[in-house]
Amino acid sequence: MIQYIRIQNFRSVKDIALELGPLNIVFGPNGCGKSNIYNAIHLLTAAAEGRLSGFYQRRGRSGEL
């Protein structure tokens, strides 16, 4: 399980450090980057599991990453 992650310069997220637990809730106003935090963690997981090509195919927007 990922316990700590730091995301820098990923889409709208400039710099954030998160301590993660078994269940995490991310909330905030629209457009503040919640989905980009999820996408960064999803990208990291896909890379660690050797599934980057599948990740890009499902996302369909590799130019934005």
Residues in the chain: 65
Q: What pLDDT score was predicted for residue 59?
A: 64
pTM: 0.73
pLDDT tens for 8-62 read: 999 999 999 999 999 999 999 999 999 999 999 988 888 888 888 777 666 665 5
Q: Measured between alpha carbons, how far is 18 from 40 in angstroms, rounded to an integer? A: 12
Domain carrying residue 52: 4-64
Predicted local confidence at residue 11, as pLDDT:
94
Number of domains into which the chain is organized: 1
Phi first, then psi: what are they for 25, rounded to 5°? -120, 125
> Does pLDDT of 65 surpass 60?
no
DSSP state of 1: -
The pLDDT of residue 51 is 82
